[in-house]
Every structure is written in structure tokens, then in C-alpha cells.
Amino acid sequence: MNRVVVTGIGICSPLGNDVDRFFTSLVEGRAGLKRVEAPWAGTVYAGLVEADLDSLFPKIKRVSLDRVSMLALLAARQAVKASGWSAEGTVSEHAGLFWGTGMGGAGTLEGAYQDLLVAKVSRLKPSTIVSVMTNAATGQIGIELGLRGPTCTYSSACSSSAIAIGEAFRAIRFGLARAALAGGSEALLTEGVIKAWESLGTLARIDAAQPETSCRPFSADRSGFLLAEGAAAVMLESLESARARGATILAEIAGYGNTGDASHITQPDADGQARAMRAALAEAGLNPDQVDHINAHGTGTKAGDMSETTAIRKVFGLGADSIPVSATKALHGHLMGATGALEFIAAIEALRRRIAPPTAHLWQPDPACDLDYVPLQARPLARAEVVMSNSFGFGGSNAVLVARRFND
């Protein structure tokens, strides 16, 4: 079996559009959550990507690109460029593409419904289908970057991009590809989507005095999450491929766990989450006491945070008390299908820079969520060899990734 390493990272996020700005914002505890400026939005706050997309894509190309694909392309370009990888010759035939998204082209879909049902147009734009389809971003990335190997799109709510990275890892590990771009994108800050989430009761109550602090994972006064858009990508290669190119290796992916709760469509299950963590550790050949840091799913919902706390305790036992756990959604919001990839990158950077980002806004810890959630301020990691990133989605879809410092 092949060892699988990370050689490039790309990010478009509410905290910045490159990995340095993103992670620096996390460490400094700077929230990227702002008021949505739209007639229908009222006091809605969310995480928005600040980028002039019109200047980054020619008009003829924008016709068939939803915002979700534009963000995906920007992150993908970054990751490939950072890795120094290129699709020359037959290399592209052995390079895969594994991408995740929760809702695909949500903006285009909502616009089409507005045109058809409100404006009563007789004909929709010919590019509607290719912009809306869930694998639109995957197809656009593959075309632009020349990735001709195994290609898959995953849509499993909040765990979508974590599953994409895990399956890319497996494809390289078992020799189905030599390299793969993996990650996810989401652009769902539309009136219909936000209203739907509001009706479900999972969005945070807005704090009138400090609205950007409204998402408070593991806090006694937590009330939910704030939605966000963005994209995140990692370039993965077999160690043999990376060595042959003389590539800089950022980290090694060691294990991946994927489980289903099979219990409830929205309520998380601690047993299912714990099984995913154990599966990732088993594939990595690691014991629980070798994990030095966890990036938690940490949505800020009552049920979700309690379930994850319980699951971590099930896996790590008494050792759970000594593991620094960060919940970064408090700062960048919940990117749904892209959140797993973004938070995996946060975990990799914590490993590389030997520092755990804070769980922001944790002024009133919930006594029932009694782990070391790195409250308020970043903390240097005394040991930084192995990190874990948790992603749990509606439908009971759990994905856990384990990475370690590369050691030759």
C-alpha cells in the first residue's frame, strides 16, 4: 500500500483566500462573519468570501459557472499551484478528482425558480442545468486542470468534503491513482436556503451587541451555527510521486473513518461518531493516546456539541481530558459541504505550526461539554505529531481524517 502525502493547499474562505491569512485569522480569533447585505436578509449574519469573481473569470465562462464552481476553481488552482504538480503527458490519466458539496449550484437554482415562477419567463437560460448539477464544480475543475483519472462527487451534507478527501486517500493508498485533488465547495447564501435553515431552528440567535460572536460551540449559551460559503482543496500524492518530483510535503494522511448512524435524519449519534474515530485510528495504526489535537465538528447546536463530547470520551477515555480540541466554526461559520476540507486544512496547519486555534466566544463553558476546548486563545502544542479532524452530517454521515507529521 502507498503512503499518501499532502503537497498543496488551496482556500477561499470568510477568513481569507489563502492558507496563511486563513490560519492567522483562526489563531488571532478574528471572526469572518458579517451581515448579509440583501433586501430579504434582515439581521442575517453569515460567512462570505470577499473576492471579485467577475474579474477572475471571463464573461463567456461565467455564463456556465455558478458561484459554487467559481470558488471551487479558485481553491483548486491554489492547491495545484502550491504543490508544483502539472498534468503533463500521461500524468493526468493517473490523477483523480474527488469533490464534495452539499447543495451544488444553489444560487443558479434559486434564480431559475425566481425567473420561472415569479417573473414568468417562458425559457430558462440554456446553461441552467450545467450550472446547477451537483457535479458541476467537479467537471469544471477536471476540465481546467486536466485531471483524467478517477473522478467522483460526494454529497453527504456536512461531511461531503471530508469524505471526498478520505476516498481520494484510499484511491492513492490502494494504487487506483498516483495523485488526486480533493476538497469541496459551497455557495448557499440565498434567501430560500437561509429561510429553510431558519425554519429548522439550527441557526444561531444573533447577539445584538456582538453579532459576529453568535456561533458559540460548546458554550452554555450556544444556540446554533451561522452559515458560510467557500471552498478548500488539498493536492494528495503517493509518497513515491512526491519524492520523484522533489515536492514539499506538508503532512501525511494516515487514516480515514466513515460510518453511518442509521438512527435519525438530523439527530447525531455519539456511537456512530465514535466508530468513525476508531476506524480512522485503526487504519492509521495509531492508539488514541497518540493524538495530539482534534479539530471538532463543533457546530454550536445543543445536541451536536453534546454528542461529539460524548463520542470523544468514548474513544479516548480518561485521556480525552489532555487533548486540546478546537471548534473553528465559531470564526469561519459552517461551510456545509466544504467545511470538512476547510477544517482538515486547519488541523494540518495546527500540526505544521504547532499551535491549536482557539474555540472562540467560549466565555461560558457548558459543564456537560467538559473537554479541553482551547477557550478564547490559541495555545502552543507541546506535542504535535498526530491530528484528527471530525466531520458529521445530517443523515448520520460521519467522516474522520487523521494526519501526521511527515517522517521519512
Catalytic residue among 94, 293, 332, 334: 334
158 an active-site residue? Answer: yes
Provide φ and ψ at 71, rounded to 5°: -65, -40
332 an active-site residue? Answer: no
- The rounded distance, in Å, linking the Cα atoms of 239 and 222 is 43
3-state secondary structure of 111: helix
334 an active-site residue? Answer: yes
Q: Rounded to an integer, what is the distance from CA 128 to the centroid of its chain?
A: 26
Beta carbons within 8 Å of 6's beta carbon, 6+ residues apart: 234, 235, 236, 249, 250, 251, 252, 253, 348, 403
CB neighbours of residue 395 within 10 Å: 16
Helices (H), 221-338: 239-245, 270-284, 302-316, 329-332
Q: Rounded to an integer, what is the distance from CA 291 to the centroid of its chain?
A: 20
Catalytic residue among 152, 215, 293, 297: 297
Cell 511527515, residue?
Answer: 406
Please state whether 175 falls in left (phi above 0), alpha (psi between -120 and 50) or beta: left
H/E element holding 383? none
Catalytic residue among 152, 158, 215, 369: 158
- The rounded distance, in Å, linking the Cα atoms of 214 and 373 is 17
List the catalytic residues: 158, 297, 334
